[in-house]
């Protein structure tokens, strides 16, 4: 019985420590990046490039609500002359799934000139997108567009890669945050920390590995 009680106690302690570490890392990332994140269009600094980060698209090519909000916010930046080109960074890891072209088509259909678009078909995750924006596409200054739950992590990665990027919080017009997304995002913070500490190098090709 004593052994069982000790096992339960240790399990509880481990769970509590895990929760505290997870919340602490989340708080640290938010504090570390808060000065480079903007929520109001009028406050966003002018840069050459907006980087819109990919998310799910349907088989029809229609943008998911979460992605539509990111892209619509990017259109707002372009139309308000905050940027003059857009880097689309998304997953095109197979012939039958293509976030990048779906976003490009949406942008063009909403009045964005095709020659203002840069396509990154190997932005398989946030770290890859930030790394490739700098190393492959030579983007020196940019506004990164995504939702509030995701933006601090994106900016944390950019900052610790030495990039002079800012973040613009996408307006949640078509999308509402789900609990499962928040849980996944908290765990993704640990992956981001590992990547920036060890300076991992993503694949520079289109093929997903």
Residue 107, pLDDT score: 98
Average pLDDT of the chain, as a whole number? 85
Nearest to 32 by CA among 150, 158, 152: 152
Whose tokens are 């506004």? That residue is 143
Residue 171: pLDDT band (50, 70, 90) is confident
Report how far apart, in Å, the C-alpha atoms of 157 and of each of 43, 99, 149 are. 22, 22, 14
Question: What residues pair up with 119 in beta bridges, in sequence order?
Answer: 88
Of 8-12, 82-86, 96-100, 115-119, the range with the lowest mean pLDDT is 8-12
Q: Are 131 and 38 in contact (CB under 8 A)?
A: no
pLDDT, position 207: 41
């Amino acid at each position: 019985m004593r052994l069982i009680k000790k096992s339960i106690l240790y399990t509880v302690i481990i769970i509590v420590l895990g929760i505290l570490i997870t919340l602490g890392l989340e708080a640290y990332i938010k504090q570390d990046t808060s000065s480079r994140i903007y929520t109001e269009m009028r406050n966003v600094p002018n840069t050459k490039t907006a980087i819109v980060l990919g998310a799910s698209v349907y088989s029809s090519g229609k943008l998911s609500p979460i992605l539509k909000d990111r892209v619509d916010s990017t259109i707002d930046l372009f139309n308000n002359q905050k940027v003059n080109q857009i880097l689309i960074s998304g997953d095109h890891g197979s012939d039958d799934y293509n976030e990048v072209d779906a976003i490009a088509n949406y942008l063009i259909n909403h009045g964005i000139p095709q020659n203002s678009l840069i396509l990154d078909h190997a932005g398989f995750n946030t770290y890859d997108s930030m790394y490739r924006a700098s190393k492959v596409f030579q983007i020196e200054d940019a506004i990164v567009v995504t939702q509030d739950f995701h933006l601090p992590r994106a900016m944390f990665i950019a900052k610790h890669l030495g990039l002079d990027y800012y973040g613009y919080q996408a307006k949640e017009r078509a999308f509402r945050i789900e609990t499962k997304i928040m849980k996944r995002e908290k765990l993704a913070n640990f992956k981001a920390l590992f990547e920036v500490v060890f300076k991992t190098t993503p694949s520079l090709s289109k093929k997903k590995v």
